[in-house]
Amino acid sequence: MTKVKICGITDAETARFACEFGADALGFVFAKSKRQVSPIQAQAIILDLPSSIRKVGVFVNEKIENVKWIFSKCGLDYVQLHGDESNSYIKSLDLPVIKAVGIGSKADVEQISSYEADYLLVDSPKGTTYQGGNGVTFDWELLKDLDESIRKRLIVAGGLDEQNVQKAICEIRPYIVDASSSLETDGKKDMTKIARFIEKVKRCS
């Protein structure tokens, strides 16, 4: 069954609702973003969540010592790296890692397997202001020849919503689908959109 990750969580009410409705993982953005939270904010939200929910911290080119401190402070399960982090950076972290890769060409797809991360997240190419969370899909056809061993640890993001997520699951066959900006109204998470998105994923799986 395809798992669901809701990213860009900024408040406890949304976090609890997403969990109760069937989300498998929640993402907390510590990098510069419209959805950025402080370690103290994230810690307060996470303390109230079930242990079964995977808590993911999103970072962009952050100092290793800062990532480790926030990981421990907030009780995270994974760190999601959305910048230019190398394999040596990943190894130095010595933490469960999700490495994000922007997909705009075949060369980007070929780069995926070079990362020694627990999970690999494919997203639309970097935006002009923020890296990820731009709410734009990429050409899924680029992933058609992806090795099955990678699909088993693949997370797909980039403009997924209730209208296209079932198609994405059928075409890409990922382990997890990830959504953020498409689940918002006027810049805030919309409970109805979250519920409909999760429902579509579970129905498809």
Q: pLDDT tens digit string along 9-34?
A: 999 999 999 999 999 999 999 999 99
DSSP letters, 49-97, are S-TTSEEEEEESS--HHHHHHHHHHHT-SEEEE-SS--HHHHHHH-S-E
**What's the mean per-residue pLDDT of the chain?**
93
pLDDT of residue 128: 41
Q: In terms of pLDDT, which residue wins out, 131 or 36?
A: 36
Which SS3 state, helix, strand or coil, does residue 197 take? helix
pLDDT of residue 205: 61
Q: CA-to-CA distance for 92 and 83, rounded, in angstroms?
A: 16
40: CATH: 3.20.20.70
> What mean pLDDT is predicted for residues 142-169?
94
* % pLDDT > 70, the chain: 95
DSSP state of 187: T
pLDDT of residue 131: 53
pLDDT of residue 127: 58
Residue 50 has pLDDT above 50, yes or no: yes
Which tens digits make up the pLDDT trace of 103-145?
999 999 999 989 999 999 999 987 544 555 556 899 999 999 9
Contact 132, 100 (CB under 8 A): yes
Contact 137, 158 (CB under 8 A): yes
Structural domain harbouring 144? 3-204
pTM: 0.94
Cβ neighbour number for residue 39 with a 10 Å cutoff: 18
Residues acting as catalytic residues: 7, 123
pLDDT of residue 192: 97
DSSP state of 179: E
How many domains does the chain divide into?
1
> What mean pLDDT is predicted for residues 186-205?
93
Q: CA-to-CA distance for 27 and 166, rounded, in angstroms?
A: 21
